[in-house]
Amino acid sequence: MHFTLTDLVTDITQNAVEAGAGIVELEVSSLSNESDGNGEFRFLVKDNGKGMTEEELKKAIDPFYTDGIKHPHRKVGLGLPFLIQTAEQSGGGWDIKSEKGKGTVVTAWFDSGNFDTPPLGDLPGMFRTILMFNSDAEIIIRRKKLGGENTVLSEYEVVKSEVIDAVGSLEDAASLVLLGEYLTSLEND
């Protein structure tokens, strides 16, 4: 199976939107350490959606459990267990904090030098997909590139409501081309 880190981030961000959040914050940072060649990819998704009880969270991270609502014919859930398995297998880690009725924060990190870490994928394309999720949630994307000792080499922020103000509807093909070019230019700056 071929998948990328951006597939995982997209999935977790979709969970946040599906949780009925009014605000979803996505932070993506990559650390490239020139001195020893090691690097890290890290992301955080924070939402103020429905949240989970301890029991619900336990079930959600269990690969052999699914609520059966979204995929009635599927016997196992994919999103969170798959993220956890991928992070653990590749020398990374994860953390999930959730409070019923308040929201959820999912963090995971990956060792870029590990053979089992999936390839990054297309970050600007992923940001565009996430901004296009069919929901009224405000989405705030923060992207950071870090160097040695976590010095910030470059960073940018994209806010969904501001993007809509700038390019108009996100259902219009021309706007989507513009948005794609804008996100790519931010990433490559």
Ligand X SMILES: Nc1ncnc2c1ncn2[C@@H]1O[C@H](COP(=O)(O)OP(=O)(O)OP(=O)(O)O)[C@@H](O)[C@H]1O
Interface residues with ligand X (CB under 6 A) are 11, 15-16, 19, 47, 49-52, 60, 67, 70, 77-80, 104
Total interface residues for Mg ion by CB under 5 A: 2
Task: Give me the 25-64 binding string for Mg ion, x by CB under 5 A, dash otherwise.
Answer: ----------------------------------------
DSSP 8-state symbol, 52 = -
* Minimum CB–partner distance for residue 121 and ligand X (Å): 17
Applying the rule CB under 5 A, the residues between 75 and 94 that interact with Mg ion are: 79
Of the two residues 22 and 148, which places its CB atom closer to ligand X in the complex? Answer: 22
| Burial label, 143 (beta-carbon count in 10 A; 0-12, 13-18, 19+) | buried
Picking from 122, 139, 143, the residue whose alpha carbon sits closest to that of residue 186 is 143
CB atoms within 10 A of CB 114: 14
* Token pair 């429905």 in the structure block, residue: 50
Q: Is 70 helix (H, G, I), strand (E, B) or coil?
A: coil
Min dist. Cβ of residue 32 to ligand X (A): 29
Please give the Cα distance from 143 to 156 (Å, whole number): 5
Round to whole Å and give the CA distance between 66 and 158.
33
Tell the smallest beta-carbon distance from residue 43 to Mg ion (Å): 15
- Of the pair 63, 168, the CB lying nearest Mg ion is at 63
CB 80, min distance to Mg ion, A: 7
CB 75 within 8 A of CB 99: no
Region binding Mg ion by CB under 5 A among candidate stretches 13-21, 26-34, 38-46, 139-147: 13-21
Rule CB under 5 A: which residues touch Mg ion? 15, 79
